[in-house]
């Protein structure tokens, strides 16, 4: 059985994701797609707009053979950590032949050339990078200059500006660092740009779809959707999304609206403020993505905390991107510490493969994983008793993060709470 690995967030699932699954299967000749997906929190440092099992169900109906959860410490990490966590997980399964990712340029040889340079970091590259940083440039700008100089290829400047290209380079770096035999493929991203807030004809960005869905919860006062003061009805929103998401996804969006989603940063405002009230700068720097400067800024700005999103914006500076701040605050709230993540990465990255769902006609994937994987396949949390101490610690972080998300969902929509131990695997 030939398997292609896909690394995803599906926040939420849309036509571009359907295209990615189908095109990945076509160009790799794979029999099935095995998805590694972020759980209830995503790489830009925010909660996912809808729970992981709802997004899993969408993916399975649209062609994914099975969905595994990326541990929360990697799902909410930098592009480098996100890629290393996901690629190492796919590699450890022992059944994945290829990995296919989207990119703006779709030029795999050039992306591989850049990845090789960034893995090797020759002295010339490091000298130029240090020089550019001393001039006051941001790290991305300094790296861009160093890469263009060392490759002699001016195209690299534009490539390093686009988010999917950057993430693709990190996947390629991770494959090299893991010594993986998985073969990479890339396909060109279709339709609107990653950050586009406007709906495209067929292939809108997840950002644009999330912005539209924000109107659907404006009466709950957790997210302001835009400058238009006219509140759209939910039926209007579904009509707008009719040609943006697969039919089954539209049905699920309709069925679970204001039952399981939409979820936003501000739904976690009191939880974050509680966590911050118990901290001081020396304790905050233990968390991932929190620098001493940011820790001090958080503590001195706490009296101006109104809500999660507003506070994250308040902390932004020229040196600190909004995404970096979002991730830092999320790591504080979830208790994800630098020392723990370093231990995980120094001990093989992953300790289990946790199953979220699968298609019954692709159940052979699970049989093959059980035979060939160097990691245990977790289908029930009770099975975690056999994990090593580090693995149990990583899993406890995953469980806490999910239970916290579920608590917010059930409080917001007044539904029954079901803890992570009682949640079911999605089968279709």
Question: What was the pLDDT predicted at 209?
Answer: 92
Q: Is 171 annotated as a binding residue?
A: no
Q: Is 14 annotated as a binding residue?
A: yes
Measured at the CA of 330, the angle between CA 324 and CA 332, to 5 degrees, comes to 105
Kind of pairing, strands 377-378 and 353-358?
parallel
Nearest to 221 by CA among 257, 190, 277, 264: 264
Q: Is 8 annotated as a binding residue?
A: yes
Greatest pairwise CA separation for the chain in angstroms: 59
Q: Is 307 annotated as a binding residue?
A: no
Q: Is 311 annotated as a binding residue?
A: no
What dihedral angle (degrees, nearest 10) is formed by the CA atoms of 55, 56, 57, 62?
Answer: 90
Question: What was the pLDDT predicted at 191?
Answer: 66
Q: At how many degrees (to 10) do helices 108-120 and 163-177 cross?
A: 60
Nearest to 263 by CA among 56, 43, 46, 64: 46
Q: Is 111 annotated as a binding residue?
A: no
Kind of pairing, strands 426-427 and 353-358?
parallel
Question: What was the pLDDT predicted at 229?
Answer: 41
Question: What was the pLDDT predicted at 231?
Answer: 66
Question: What is the three-state SS of the chain?
Answer: CCEEEEEECCCCCCHHHHHHHHHHHHHHCCCEEEEEEECCEECCCEECCCCHHHHHHHHHHCCCCEEEEECHHHHCCCHHHHHHHHHHHHHHCCCEEEEEEEECCCCHHHHHHHHHHHHHCCHHHHHHHHHHHHCCCCHHHHHHHHHHHHHCCCHHHHHCCCHHHHHHHHHHHHHHHCCCCCEEEEEECCCCCCCCCCCCCCCCCHHHHHHHHHHHHHHHCCCCCCCCCCCCCHHHHHHHHCCCCCHHHHHHHHHHECCCECCCHHHHHHHHHHHHHCCCHHHHCCECCCCHHHHHHHHHHHHHCCCHHHHHHHCCCCCCCHHHHHHHHHHHHHCCEHHHHHHHHHCCCCCCEEEEEECHHHCHHHHHHHHHCCCCEECCHHHHHHCCHHHHHHHHHHHHHHHHHHHHHHHHHCCCCCCHHHCCCEEC
Q: Is 221 annotated as a binding residue?
A: no
Q: Is 154 annotated as a binding residue?
A: no
Q: Is 15 annotated as a binding residue?
A: yes
Q: How far is the C-alpha of 380 from the C-alpha of 15, rounded, in Å?
A: 32
Q: Is 351 annotated as a binding residue?
A: no
Write phi, then psi, for 348 (nearest 5 degrees).
110, 5
Question: What was the pLDDT predicted at 382?
Answer: 86
Q: Which parts of the chain have pLDDT scores under 50?
A: 218-222, 224-229
Question: What is the three-state SS of 45-102?
Answer: CEECCCCHHHHHHHHHHCCCCEEEEECHHHHCCCHHHHHHHHHHHHHHCCCEEEEEEE
Residue whose entry in the numeric block shows the structure tokens 């697969």: 246
Question: What was the pLDDT predicted at 219?
Answer: 43
Q: Is 326 annotated as a binding residue?
A: no
Q: How far is the C-alpha of 222 from the C-alpha of 412, rounded, in Å?
A: 10
CB-based contact 35:2 (threshold 8 Å): no
Q: Is 16 annotated as a binding residue?
A: yes
Kind of pairing, strands 426-427 and 46-47?
unpaired
Q: Is 29 annotated as a binding residue?
A: no
CB-based contact 234:15 (threshold 8 Å): no
100 strand-pairing partners: 185
CA distances from 216 to 50, 225, 261 (A): 13, 9, 10
How many residues belong to the chain? 428
Q: Is 13 annotated as a binding residue?
A: yes
Q: Is 352 annotated as a binding residue?
A: no
Q: How far is the C-alpha of 354 from the C-alpha of 376, rounded, in Å?
A: 8
pTM of the model: 0.94
Q: Is 298 annotated as a binding residue?
A: no
Question: What was the pLDDT predicted at 190?
Answer: 78
Q: How far is the C-alpha of 68 from the C-alpha of 84, rounded, in Å?
A: 15
Q: Is 17 annotated as a binding residue?
A: yes
């Amino acid at each position: 059985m030939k398997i292609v690995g896909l690394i995803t967030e599906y926040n939420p699932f849309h036509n571009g994701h359907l295209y990615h699954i189908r095109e990945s299967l076509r160009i790799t000749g794979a029999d099935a797609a095995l998805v590694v997906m972020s759980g209830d929190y995503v790489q830009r440092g925010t909660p996912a707009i809808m729970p992981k099992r709802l997004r899993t169900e969408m993916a399975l109906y649209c062609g994914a053979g099975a969905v595994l959860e990326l541990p929360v410490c990697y799902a909410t990490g930098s592009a480098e950590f996100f890629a290393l966590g996901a690629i190492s997980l796919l590699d450890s399964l022992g059944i994945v032949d290829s990995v296919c990712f989207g990119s703006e340029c779709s030029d795999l040889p050039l992306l591989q050339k850049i990845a090789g340079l960034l893995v090797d970091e020759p002295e010339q590259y490091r000298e130029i990078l240090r020089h550019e940083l001393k001039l006051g440039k941001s790290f991305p700008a300094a790296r861009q200059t160093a890469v263009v100089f060392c490759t002699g290829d001016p195209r690299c400047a534009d490539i390093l500006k686009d988010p999917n290209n950057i993430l693709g380079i990190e996947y390629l770096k991770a494959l090299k660092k893991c010594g993986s035999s998985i073969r990479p493929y890339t396909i060109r991203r279709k339709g609107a740009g990653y950050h586009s807030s406007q709906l495209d004809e067929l292939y809108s960005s997840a950002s644009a779809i999330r912005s539209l869905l924000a109107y659907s919860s404006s009466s709950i006062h957790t997210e302001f959707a835009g400058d238009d003061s006219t509140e759209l009805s939910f039926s209007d929103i579904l009509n707008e999304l009719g040609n943006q998401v697969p039919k089954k996804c539209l049905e699920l969006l309709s069925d679970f609206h204001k039952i399981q989603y939409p979820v936003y940063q501000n739904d976690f405002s009191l939880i974050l403020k509680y966590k911050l009230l118990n901290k001081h700068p020396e304790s905050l720097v233990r968390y991932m993505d929190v620098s001493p400067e940011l820790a001090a800024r958080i503590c001195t700005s706490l009296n101006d905390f109104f809500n999660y999103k507003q506070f994250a914006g308040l902390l932004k500076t020229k040196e600190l991107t909004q995404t970096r701040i979002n991730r830092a605050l999320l790591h504080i709230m979830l208790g994800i510490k630098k020392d723990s993540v370093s231990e995980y990465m120094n001990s093989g990255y992953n300790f289990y493969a946790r199953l979220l769902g699968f298609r019954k006609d692709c159940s052979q994937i699970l049989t093959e994983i059980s035979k060939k994987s160097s990691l245990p396949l977790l289908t029930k949390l009770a099975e975690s008793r056999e994990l090593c101490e580090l693995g149990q610690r990583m899993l406890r972080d995953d469980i806490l993060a999910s239970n916290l998300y579920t608590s917010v969902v059930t409080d917001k929509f007044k539904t029954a709470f079901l803890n992570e131990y009682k949640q079911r695997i999605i089968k279709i």
